[in-house]
Amino acid sequence: MRRRLAALGPRVVELAQRVATFCRQRAVVFGEAWRTSLQFRVTVSTLALSSAVVFVLGMVLQNQITDRLLDTKQRAAVAQTRAVVGIGERELASIDADPNALEDKLKNALKTITSSSVASQDLGASAAGAFEPVLAAGGPDRPTEDTIHAGPYQHVPPPLRKFVEAGQTAWQIHTVGPEHARDTYLIVGAPVNTIRPVQLYLLFPLSTEQNTVTTVQNTLLVGGLVLLLLLAGITNLVTRQVVRPVRQAAAAAERFAGGDLDQRLTVLGEDDLSKLAVSYNEMAASIQRQIRQLEEFGQLQRRFTSDVSHELRTPLTTVRMAADVLHASREQFPAGLARSTELLVDELDRFEALLGDLLEISRLDAGVEELAAEVIDVRPVAERAVEQVRVIAGTAGSTIEVELPDEQVTAEVDARRVERILRNLLANAVDHSEGEPVRLVVAANDTAVAMAVRDYGVGLRQGEAELVFNRFWRADPSRNRRTGGTGLGLAISHEDARLHGGMLEAWGEPDRGACFRLTLPCRQGEPIGESPVGLPPDPPPPAPEGPGRWVEPETPVGPGAPEPQVEHEEVG
């Protein structure tokens, strides 16, 4: 037996785990349906509340029916008992004190009561129904076992005996018999007026009433279940009539948000949902008109910017030629005029850069730019961008520290655009570095290549990381700029990153510097996944150990062991 129990133990545990897993899965499905479906939520709520109402109503009806049946049975049984008491008094009028004669008298009287017209009448004529009589001759001072009786006296409960022996008419519901065959009786007792104390008890079976109550219970149960099913179906149908137009409106709104501006709802009838559909259609038509107006305005604005930029090319070329002539002869001019010539050339350079950026922005906005992507090693692209900013960094007193992997970093990118992004980021970092080093980190993983430009200058205030890519936005318009940028470089860089299917992100804190991270997919059309460079890249660079080099230990080393070093090229 112990071995069998030991063998059943793992099976029981496995079965319990399966049941628990099934219950968890059902709970998850129920929770998901509860959160996402208004129809399911309303149906379940209505079913739960209806179940509570039906249960309470069923209990009240059952109690009322049971009480009414017992009350009717009790009154009829008491009336029946009083009638039978009269028969008993006539039969026991000549009772004597001889115990043997007394017992015979009780038995004869019991037979008379049983065979009398009152007891043997048709059961349908009496509300009390059939009964089983009991006669007992005893008093309150006489022990129960010495009581002379006729009939099943043992079925009469002692509390009822005490009331009847005290001369009172009483009744009690009592259950007798073994567990497997128990019978419930309504027992009514009354004293019989004879020479010596005699009590009469009538045992009325309650089987008919129990059957009636059981039938009522089953009827209420079945009726309640049917009612709940009908309520669930009706609620589901009514809720569906309300939810279906809402779902259609949600689907239409989703398609409208996806670009289908001609999407409208069908209007049927004049009810509240129809008014909702009419309001939605009017709103959609208004939004469509406004969007088209904005598109037309945007197209006019882009065309205007492009046309103005192109038209300014010719006079700018003429002015440039004249300025170059003046600049070449500046040594022959007075000092003030020579300085004005130099300022004129500098501002023309900025003006040309601004026109170029405006043309680039207009082409990006118009969606006519194409990506000339090819699989290349991005390290030379980063080195060229650093070389182009080297003079600006030297003028600002900053150094550019480059961290490149030893192996090739291949990606399918447009080299010209990536170089322009890095050049803009490096120039922006130098301009805000306050003479501190600027760090360029290049890394790659299986799905993406990342390039991060980190400076340790003034940094960005809270909320400015989302604004730096806006056109012509500046963190501090009054700050003296060194690079003379147009205010469109970061906006163009952000569009170039988007054109690659990548992303350009910014981070910054006041007096801790800023970091711009460019993340591009290794193959066009593939997801990026996790960027191989943190934002900002950690750890920060250590202090330089010598001109043009700085060293960073890769792993902790023990005392006396040679310290491994990673060399990073610095261009300044």
d(CA 246, CA 260): 19
Q: Judging by DSSP bridges, how do beta strands 198-205 and 374-377 pair with one another?
A: unpaired
Residue listed under structure tokens 């009483």: 170
User: Residue 571's pLDDT band (boundaries 50, 70, 90)?
Assistant: very low
Q: Please, which pLDDT band fits residue 297 given cuts at 50, 70 and 90? A: confident
pTM above 0.75, yes or no: no
- 35 or 358: which leads in pLDDT: 35
Confidence of residue 331 (pLDDT cuts 50, 70, 90): confident
Predicted local confidence at residue 92, as pLDDT = 77
Q: 549 has which bridge partners?
A: 546
Look at strands 400-403 and 438-444 and give their pairing: parallel
Question: In angstroms, rounded to a whole number, what is the distance separating the alpha carbons of residues 187 and 174?
Answer: 7
Q: What is the 3-state secondary structure (H, E, C) of 384-446?
A: HHHHHHHHHHHHHCCCEEEECCCCCCEEEECHHHHHHHHHHHHHHHHHHCCCCCEEEEEEECC
Candidates 151, 114, 121, 117; CA nearest to 136 is 151
Asked if residue 367 lies in contact with residue 314, where contact means CB atoms within 8 angstroms, the answer is no
Q: Where in the chain is the domain with CATH 3.30.565.10?
A: 372-521
Count of CA atoms in the C-beta half-sphere (13 A) of 30: 8
Q: What is the pLDDT of residue 380?
A: 92
Q: By mean pLDDT, which of 4-13, 308-317, 326-335, 558-567 is the weakest? A: 558-567
| Amino acid code (one letter) for 495 | E
Q: Which CATH architecture has domain 37-213?
A: 2-Layer Sandwich (3.30)
Distances (CA, A) of 518 to 124, 473, 504: 98, 20, 5
pLDDT digits (tens, 9 = 90+) for 422-472: 988 898 888 888 888 898 999 988 889 999 999 888 888 887 777 887 777
Are the CB atoms for 202 and 100 separated by under 8 Å? no
The highest-confidence range among 326-330, 360-364, 371-375, 383-387, by mean pLDDT, is: 383-387
Residue 487 backbone zone (phi > 0: left; psi -120 to 50: alpha; other: beta)? left
Task: Place domain 372-521 in its CATH homologous superfamily.
Answer: Histidine kinase-like ATPase, C-terminal domain (3.30.565.10)
Query: Per-residue confidence at 337, pLDDT binned at 50, 70, 90?
Result: confident
Check whether 542 has a pLDDT greater than 70: no
Domain with CATH 3.30.450.20 in the chain: 37-213
Q: Encoding tokens for residue 166? A: 């005290």
> Does pLDDT of 511 surpass 70?
yes
In the chain, % of residues over pLDDT 90? 4
